[in-house]
Amino acid sequence: MDSLALKLILTPVLIGTASLAGRRWGPAVSGWLVALPLTSAPIVFFLARTHGLAFATAVAIGTLAGAISQAAFCLIYSWLAEHWGWPRTIVASCFGFAAATAVLQQLMLPVGLLFLLVIFALALALRLMPSDADATPTRVGPPPQWDIPTRMVVATAFVLLLTGSAPAIGPQLTGLLAPFPLYGAILAVFAQHLHGPRPAVRVLRGLLLGLFAFASFFLVLATLLDRVGIILAFCMASTVALVLQAGTLWMLRQRSG
């Protein structure tokens, strides 16, 4: 019941907050915000309580690796959005995430080496992102009233579906699927639909910047969870992630300025 309540409360609150942040500070900040592991981290927490520390550690390692799939998603969406409408773009990006996940499922690396691979993939993805300069909206006017409520409903339904099937598919695949960029995808789709491709690219660039803190969180968690226990491991991982996230926000604001 605690886990279900968390999903029903946290998911719509997060996507609503990120959407409002996007309106206030721009799409890049909303993408940066949803990179925080505010859904995947609770998943690991409740799995640690119900299935043990070894299971949760394997999920954390899989989630760390899944950041590479997120990078693939961001790259594919950003490059295709300039030429395709959002329906074909999101479908192709999801296929890219799935293909990367299938490859990563066969990859067995020590967690430290995996972390270095993830950091390299994120840095490379940022380097290869298309330009988002002169991101002038192509459509003007206020967003419709159903905009944010629709985002919240879709996000919550997807999280409930994914986490409900997690115990049946095992810890590694659960971890690899947990970081599917649901919030980033929703924000990018609405940005593209309402304002054009360049704001969508800004959302995904912000997401990529935020994933450095995401990866660090799960590195610390995977390393310490079965050594120091749930509470201390999560506290230490959260501290590292928040410090790094503050640094990437500074970089994001410097770039925007």
Mean pLDDT confidence for 117-123 = 95
Number of folded domains in the chain? Answer: 1
Q: Which helix (H) or strand (E) holds 14?
A: helix 2-25
Predicted local distance difference test score (pLDDT) of residue 113: 94
Give the CB-side neighbour count of residue 187, counting CA atoms within 13 A. Answer: 34
Contact 214, 67 (CB under 8 A): yes
Predicted local distance difference test score (pLDDT) of residue 69: 94
Predicted local distance difference test score (pLDDT) of residue 36: 77
Domain that holds residue 147: 2-256
Complete DSSP assignment for 182-201: HHHHHHHHHHHHHH-HHHHH
How does the average pLDDT of the chain come out, rounded?
Answer: 82
Residue range 42-94, pLDDT digits in tens: 778 878 887 889 988 999 999 999 999 999 999 999 999 989 989 999 999 99
CA distance 72 to 216: 19
Contact 206, 245 (CB under 8 A): no
Predicted local distance difference test score (pLDDT) of residue 66: 92
Residue range 200-234, pLDDT digits in tens: 898 898 889 889 999 999 999 999 998 898 899 99
Query: With 0-12 CB in 10 A as exposed, 13-18 as middle and 19+ as buried, what is 213?
Result: buried
CA distance 14 to 36: 10
